[in-house]
Chain A
Amino acid sequence: MTAPTREQVTQHPTENEIEPFSTWTGRARRWMLKKLPPDKLLPESQPSYVASWIYVFGMGAIASLAVVIASGLVLSLNGPSWWHVSDLGHFVNSTHLWSVEFFFLFMVVHLWGKFWMAAWRGGRVLTWITGVLSFAVGIAAAFTGYLLQSNFESQWISFEAKDALNAAGIGAWFNVANLGQMFTWHIVLLPLGVGAIVALHVILVRMHGVVSPIDAAETDAQLANTKEASE
């Protein structure tokens, strides 16, 4: 038996070619395969215009988020006091802090880059919205991390920040001086929120592809020449 060719692997099955599923699971699979076939999920090529350093910042933010989660996991498994009494703990805390700083740096450059590219064009509005939302939820996640430091800074931030939260009516459920509540927000709820939104964002990027240049037209050389070649 010969291995399938790349064309065979990446060929999209048309709707008629997919057997008519009768179960919910089957229908869900058909819908998912139609929306995000494997070659779109894990592509081996990109449009020729995807050739700028600005494109690496999205991946940089995801890589930073992975380091944030890994270092945060080590910190949380060792408990809130560990990093005050252990040199290794302090170093892991430093990696957590700096990965957060890089995460935001890359995310901000990515966000502004996508703004100037008007990356919401062509049905990509949900990709834009999930991107901004992940930034906003990320800010809340980072903020709760500063409250868990159990040092002077967390004491002061919890005293100072309570007023805005109380004024907004959420101070009892998001009580910045309650370490137990803040642990739940910081190591469970908000990371799950950021993770889920970022995952959805990446899936949407893969589904819709990278947005084409502003004012690109069918007559542009990179489109027209390919068409001519295929004719």
Chain B
Amino acid sequence: MTTTKPARRENPMSWRTGAGIAGPPWKGAVREYDLFKELTIGLVAVILLVLAASALFGSPDDKAVSLKSWAVAQPSDFVATATAELAGTSETAGYGPPYNSTPGATQTLGPIDLQTLAGVKLPIDTAQAFVLGPLSSLPTPPSGVATWKAASDAQRTAWTDAYAKALDKAKNHDPANVAAGDYGPVPALMRTLLTMAKQGSLDSVISAQGKFYNLDYTPAILFMGDGAYLNDLAAGLHLSGDQWGMMNETGNYPGQSWLWLFSFFYQIEPFASLPNADIVVVVLVAVLTLALMLVPFIPGLRSIPRVIPIHRLVWRDYYRRR
């Protein structure tokens, strides 16, 4: 006796080829269609739209800031940051990979530590790259460089700690108002570095890092980011991470509104306060993007379009004439 398997009931929302009449080529009524004509009309319409928007709204171009503009606008912030770079206490100095191997600095997801796995690929010694290197590039380097290099680690730490505290207590945090103390060569080094920055030579020295050709602005960006100047300017333009800054643009422009979901998680708890917020948000957005990509395979999700009948609007003419 032969038994026939009962025909499998097709889910009309399935991605499979055999799902209803969606799979085989359409055998019903057709209407005339001109692909090239539609493309040409579309292109002309978009060009006109783009030209009109460009003429009406233009595009933003806020001038780049520099170590020079920082040193001139906020010398005390510049000196405080440079002192932290020399001491190895700045954000960059303790960042971890890819800049250095500071223990415990990486963002992990349970046992997964992609940051450490990637390794220290862009090594930056903040004291050398941002302070001692540029000062040593001068025709007559300040004698304090040699004094600093000859000192023990403990002595260096004592000098920079004392100077950083004194700067913090000084009126307006101004290096000129720092009380007398045992800071070793640190104040002299900072004075010369500030002068270099104000004159504009520090920008090129830090960007070049001893080379002629350069397209890598990592050192200068990290140095500026360690201070308050760049962050304050960005916050004033609503560009900080907690101000939806990831999708905002300078001026009144739409910006990268397509990053709204990525930006959204930085605005809400518990994500906003997590010490590993970046890796958590990256993974979350990656999973959600993957879910969107795989909607056709996810029961329930793939049936939403049938339950909420927006398709009735799209094909209203078809359904009316059924």
Contact = CB atoms under 8 A, between A and B. Distances in A.
A55 B115 CA distance: 44
Interface string B180-224: 000000000000000000000000000000000001111001101
A148 to B, nearest CB: 11
Interface string A65-99: 01100010000000000011000001101111111
Contacts of B97: 166
Given A139-B258, A214-B311, A216-B21, A49 B318 contact: yes
A52 interface: yes
Contacts of A181: 215-216
Nearest to B279: A167
A95 B54 contact: yes
B31 A51 contact: yes
Contacts of B217: 155, 158, 177-179
Contact of B317 (A49, A59, A163, A214): A49
A104 B294 CA distance: 21
B50 interface: yes
B63 A151 contact: yes
A26 interface: no
A170 B57 CA distance: 36
Interface string A166-201: 111111110101111101000000000000000000
A120 to B, nearest CB: 4
A45 B57 CA distance: 39
A44 B14 CA distance: 29
Given A51-B31, A222-B321, A226-B29, A56 B118 contact: no
B256 interface: yes
B269 interface: no
A154 B21 CA distance: 50
B94 interface: no
B259 A164 contact: no
Counting chain A residues whose Cβ lies within 8 A of the other chain, the interface size class is: 35 or more
Contacts of A218: 21
Contact of B314 (A117, A151, A175, A220): A117
B127 to A, nearest CB: 20
Interface in B49-76: 49-51, 53-55, 57-65
Given A60-B46, A63-B45, A93-B59, A215 B12 contact: yes
Given A49-B315, A98-B54, A151 B62 contact: yes
A33 interface: no
B282 A167 contact: yes
Given A118-B13, A122-B22, A159 B224 contact: yes
Nearest to A56: B42
A59 B43 CA distance: 9
A132 B293 CA distance: 6
A209 to B, nearest CB: 6
A15 interface: no
21 contacts: A63-B43, A64-B50, A71-B50, A91-B54, A94-B53, A98-B54, A102-B46, A117-B305, A117-B315, A136-B293, A151-B63, A153-B60, A156-B234, A158-B217, A166-B98, A169-B118, A175-B122, A212-B21, A215-B20, A222-B28, A223-B21
Given A171-B121, A177-B217, A214-B311, 20 more contacts: A42-B36, A56-B42, A59-B38, A60-B45, A63-B43, A64-B46, A93-B59, A94-B54, A98-B49, A121-B15, A122-B17, A153-B60, A166-B95, A167-B115, A178-B218, A179-B215, A183-B215, A213-B319, A215-B12, A220-B322
Interface of A: 42-52, 54, 56, 59-60, 62-64, 66-67, 71, 83-84, 90-91, 93-99, 101-102, 104, 108, 113, 115-118, 120-125, 128-129, 132-133, 135-136, 139, 142-143, 146, 149-156, 158-161, 163-164, 166-173, 175, 177-181, 183, 209, 211-218, 220-223, 225-227
